[in-house]
Amino acid sequence: MVFMHEFRAIAKYIAENYPSATKIVEVGVGKVPDVAIELQRLLPACEVIVTDVVEPPELSGRVKFVRDDITEPNLSVYEGATLIYAVRPPPELQPHLLEVAREIGADLLIKPLAGESMPLRGGRLINYQGVAFYAFMGKG
């Protein structure tokens, strides 16, 4: 399945580029926590948290769910995170993602829908194993 390739590639990129991260947060996990589950497997010492306004159907391993709305975030959920990431977030949420990441000094990674334009500027386009996403460096 093409989505599984994307999920594994994103998790692998994060694990390779943030090997010493102690906390990573996925925003808007929806019903697909696959990246977070794979990330927890690749970085077992890292606390992996997923957020959404609705709890996902099933989480495995040590991945932790916290109910949060990125448009009115509880910053304590994100504090201490090295990286915040989102897979296919709606364009209207992307500025909120960047604001929270900059507020706490974390990097931000966004995997948009294929063909979707990015409303945010200043990110670096990354193509990793055929999967394109954008990276924004913290405190930018």
Q: What is the pLDDT along the chain (140 residues), one digit of tens a residue?
A: 457 889 999 999 999 999 999 999 999 999 889 999 999 999 999 999 999 999 887 777 789 999 999 999 999 999 999 999 999 999 899 999 999 999 999 999 999 877 666 667 788 999 999 998 999 987 54
Say what the pTM is. 0.92
Beta bridge partners of 109: 85, 135
Instruction: Identify the DSSP state of 133.
Output: E
pLDDT at 1: 46
Name the CATH architecture for the domain at 2-136: 3-Layer(aba) Sandwich (3.40)
User: Where do the structural domains in the chain lie, given as residue ranges?
Assistant: 2-136
DSSP state of 107: E
Sign of the C-alpha dihedral computed for residues 76, 79, 85 and 89 taken in this order: positive
Looking at residue 7, its pLDDT comes to: 92
d(CA 43, CA 47): 9
| Burial class of residue 108 in the structure, from the number of CB atoms within 10 Å of its CB (0-12 exposed, 13-18 middle, 19+ buried) | buried
